[in-house]
Amino acid sequence: MTHDSHDHGPSLRLVGKDDRSGAHPTSQVARDVDWSILMARAQEGDRAAYHRLLQEITPYLRSLAARRHRDRGDVEDSVQDVLLTVHSIRQTYDPARPFAPWLVAIANRRFIDRLRRQGRTRDREIPLTAEHETFCESAANLGERPGERELEGMVSNLPPAQQNALRLLKLKELSLKEAAAVSGMSITSLKVNTHRALKNLRKMLLNRSEP
């Protein structure tokens, strides 16, 4: 990754000797001019310039996002959000004006939108804690529900192929492809065996409930 090297300064110093910018460090001004030029060229359809611009602003956006979001995934998502927004409204940039304020305004908008969305989600949803988790291994759930042991017994009475298919697909919730890879059975035979297993179980349960 070359990203980190961009953080410290621009690769092209156009106004490197310009000392008039009292408040801003020169490198920042240079970077801004650099980005302005790249964006102006991107607006004219220069793909290489656009690619370089997006690559250069990404670490900057990441550092801005890190101030608002704690989760790394959120930071990366926000950065991508900003990049998409920049792409879709790139015609609103006026090369006569500085680039950074334009970018930062868009970025802040996106970050705040994400924070708001997260706030709304938090109000509605409860995160799962360790106690909510359940395990497909029978040992973890021993005696949790009354009929469980009995059902487990019934499952172990099934023919081995059916038992295997049922455990992989229904209890471990693997996909057909994964289950086929694990068990070495074909997808068709997994389907057939699951179907038969469920049918047998249903029969057994019905027989049990009839005295």
Give me the residues that bind other proteins (CB under 8 A), please. Answer: 42-48, 50-51, 54-55, 58, 76-77, 79-81, 83-85, 87-95, 97-98, 101-102, 105-106, 109-110
**DSSP code for 145:** S
Cα separation, 193 vs 197, in Å, equals 6
User: Which is closer to other proteins, CB of 85 or CB of 200?
Assistant: 85
Name residue, tokens 């990404």: 58
Cα separation, 2 vs 7, in Å, equals 10
How many other CB atoms sit within 10 Å of the CB of residue 65? 23
- Could you tell me the smallest distance in angstroms from the CB atom of residue 120 to other proteins? 13
Contact yes or no for 16/25 (Cβ under 8 A): no
- Could you tell me the smallest distance in angstroms from the CB atom of residue 8 to other proteins? 20
Cα separation, 8 vs 23, in Å, equals 18
- Could you tell me the smallest distance in angstroms from the CB atom of residue 71 to other proteins? 13
User: Which is closer to other proteins, CB of 10 or CB of 93?
Assistant: 93
User: Which is closer to other proteins, CB of 5 or CB of 55?
Assistant: 55
Q: What token pair was written down for 185?
A: 């059975």
User: Which is closer to other proteins, CB of 96 or CB of 130?
Assistant: 96
- Could you tell me the smallest distance in angstroms from the CB atom of residue 117 to other proteins? 9
